[in-house]
Amino acid sequence: MSQFNYDLFVIGAGSGGVRLARMSAGYGARVGIAEDRFMGGTCVNVGCVPKKLFVYASHVREDIDDGAGFGWGLNGDLKFDWQTLRDNKNTEISRLNGIYESLLANAGVTIHSGRARFIDRHTLDIDGELITAERIAIATGSWPFVPDFPGNEKAISSNELFYLDSLPETAVVLGGGYIAVEMAGILAGLGVKTCLVYRGALFLRGFDQEIRDFVKTEVEKKGVELLFNDNIQSIEGDAPNLRVSLKSGNVLETGMVLAATGRRPHIHDLGLEGLGINTRENGELIVNELYQTSVDNIFALGDVTGGMQLTPVALAEGSFLSAHLYCDVKPTPVDYQNIPTAVFCQPNIATVGLTEEQARERYDNVQVFASEFRPLKHTLSGSNERTLMKLLVEGDSDRILGAHMVGAEAGEIIQGIAVAIRAGATKTDFDTTIGIHPTAAEEFVTMRQPRA
């Protein structure tokens, strides 16, 4: 009989933690998990899922407007009720919380509802209860970070946005990452006059430059005001009468400030001090290729380790680690190349592989195939939204290096292309694939001429 209560104890029942706990128990390990806030973690409660539901909500107005060109019209006023959206979303999230709980319980994982804190490398204090484990995995995720400026406590983060009592008439979104851009799109789509303030020259750093420029134009068309090369200096007053002073000297009167200014590892009060776990300067836990920290029985995965902060990445890490620790068949390591990703701004961005800038840095012979057009739907809807698709090809080998798209359902389209790219697809493979007509996606197999 083991001297420990558990073979494995997982801290955090989010994307990575639930996968690790569930699969390890399935392989026969005695597993416990602690969760102090919400079953399913960030993605389910204050991330991907509620965000995508809000993105759907924010499109409805536009869909109704688009309908006019197809002969549809409304007889009465069009009304939006925030409380209905928020409460229906909450009901769905509660349902998902229950599913996560059942998944764990049915797999034989013991759930401890409470905050875990290290006592030593094998012992945790969970709200006063001491438990021991041979191995402990930290899957505590990340937490919104708000920069320091006078009045920053008056800004909300994405965590609070999902539960607002009411929607303001105007909002300022601070930040230039994907969450900022998505949230600005949601708010604008729901009828909030929205302004995005970002200290850099252009948002979405790290994405293909042409895609970023194109999205800037599209986002502005949707009515989001973009203030680049600027920053918030202070916030005064009380919501919904906030006064935001910018570095440029401009002052914005607004009902709400949303700071989407990055996320930091969630390691507050975890008791890591004295354990000897190596971290980066920003607190990210450093792990080796087996997700082992510098303390060999303590593992870490998901957002808390930095890297690409995406749910499918945390899931893949959880799957790998469980199989590595408890399955006889050794798993294939997670491949961090060609991870597809989407930004659910309006229209969506989706991307896989290298940007044009990265491709040109790595290869001498890069061919760029691109197509920009007005989607068929909008010939009748009257919308001025446009779509951009881009393929990067290594000219000598004909291999596809990257695919990028801005347009409706870009995420749905690029997911399939990601499989092709991982399988080593060439431009000839794309060219000899018959398109599905009439779709936007068929453009990816009909782009014949590279740019000069």
Out of 194, 309, 319, 355, point to the residue binding ligand FAD (CB under 6 A). Answer: 309
11 scored as a contact of ligand FAD (CB under 6 A): yes
Give residue 203's region: left, alpha or beta (phi > 0; psi -120 to 50): beta
For residue 438, cis peptide bond before it (omega within 30 degrees of 0) = yes
| Contact call for residue 232 and ligand FAD (CB under 6 A) | no
Q: Please give the C-alpha separations between residue 156 and each of 4, 147, 153, 256, in angstroms, as whole numbers.
A: 42, 12, 7, 8
Three-state DSSP state, 371? strand
Shortest separation between residue 13's beta carbon and ligand FAD, angstroms: 6
The answer to whether 158 contacts ligand FAD (rule: CB under 6 A) is yes
Question: Is 437 a known active-site residue?
Answer: yes
- Residue holding tokens 């393929």? 391
314 binding ligand FAD? (CB under 6 A): yes
Rounded to a whole number of angstroms, the minimum distance from the CB of residue 214 to ligand FAD is: 20
Other CB atoms within a 10 A radius of the CB of residue 345 amount to: 26
**Residue-wise burial string across 22-46, b where 16 or more C-beta atoms lie within 10 A, e elsewhere:** bbbbbeebbbbbbbebbbbbbbbbb
Classify residue 128 as left (phi > 0), alpha (psi -120 to 50) or beta: left
Kindly list the distances between the CA atom of residue 143 and the CA atoms of 75, 159, 185, 362, 411, in Å, as whole numbers in the listed order: 45, 9, 22, 34, 25
Closest distance to ligand FAD from the beta carbon of 186 (Å) = 10
Q: Minimum CB separation from ligand FAD for residue 448, in Å?
A: 33
12 binds ligand FAD (CB under 6 A): yes
The residue among 34 and 391 lying less far from ligand FAD, judged by its C-beta, is 34
Q: What are the E-state strand segments in 27-186?
A: 31-35, 110-113, 116-120, 123-126, 129-138, 142-144, 170-174
From the candidates 266, 268, 378, 437, which is the catalytic residue? Answer: 437
Whether the CB-CB separation of 38 and 45 falls below 8 Å is answered with: yes
Residue 417 touches ligand FAD, criterion: CB under 6 A: no
The verdict on 264 binding ligand FAD (CB under 6 A) reads: no
Q: Which of 312, 324, 408, 409 binds ligand FAD (CB under 6 A)?
A: 312
Query: In the structure encoding, which two tokens stand for residue 340, read together?
Result: 């597809």
- By beta-carbon proximity to ligand FAD, the closer residue of 312 and 450 is 312
Instruction: Pick the stretch among 35-43, 72-80, 289-297, 382-390 that binds ligand FAD (CB under 6 A).
Output: 35-43
Question: In terms of DSSP bridges, do strands 193-198 and 225-228 run parallel, antiparallel, or are they unpaired?
Answer: parallel
Can you give the C-alpha Rg of the chain in angstroms? 24
Residue pair 226/196 in contact (Cβ under 8 Å)? The answer is yes
Part in contact with ligand FAD (CB under 6 A); list of ranges 277-285, 292-300, 309-317, 362-370 = 309-317
Residue facing ligand FAD at closest CB distance: 14
In the complex, the smallest distance separating the C-beta of residue 344 from ligand FAD, rounded to whole angstroms, is 6
* Per-residue contact string for residues 170-199; x = within reach of ligand FAD by CB under 6 A: ---------x--------------------
Report the residue number, 38 or 82, with the smaller CB distance to ligand FAD: 38
Shortest separation between residue 204's beta carbon and ligand FAD, angstroms: 14
Count of chain residues binding ligand FAD (CB under 6 A) = 36
Of 7, 8, 14, 421, which one interacts with ligand FAD (CB under 6 A)? 14
How far apart CA 428 and CA 416 sit, in angstroms, is: 17
**For residues 182, 210, 225 and 198, what is the CA-based torsion angle, rounded to 10 degrees?**
70
Site string for ligand FAD, 122-151 (x = CB under 6 A): -----------------xxx----------
Residue 345 is a binding residue for ligand FAD (CB under 6 A) = no
**Rule CB under 6 A: is residue 116 a binding residue for ligand FAD?**
yes
- Pick the closer one to ligand FAD by CB: 13 or 325: 13
Q: In this chain, which of 6, 7, 9, 13 binds ligand FAD, going by CB under 6 A?
A: 13
What DSSP string runs through 347-368?
A: S-EEEEE--HHHHHHH-S-EEE
Beta strand pairing status for 123-126 and 116-120?
A: antiparallel
Q: Exposed, middle or buried by CB within 10 Å (0-12, 13-18, 19+), for 338?
A: middle
- Report the nearest approach of ligand FAD to the CB of residue 212 (Å): 18
Position among 5, 27, 38, 177 found at the interface with ligand FAD (CB under 6 A): 38
> Does residue number 402 form part of the binding site for ligand FAD (CB under 6 A)?
no
Confirm or reject binding of residue 36 to ligand FAD (CB under 6 A). yes
- Site of interaction with ligand FAD (CB under 6 A): 11-17, 34-38, 41-43, 46-48, 51, 115-116, 139-141, 158, 179, 266, 270, 302-304, 309-312, 314
Catalytic machinery residues: 437
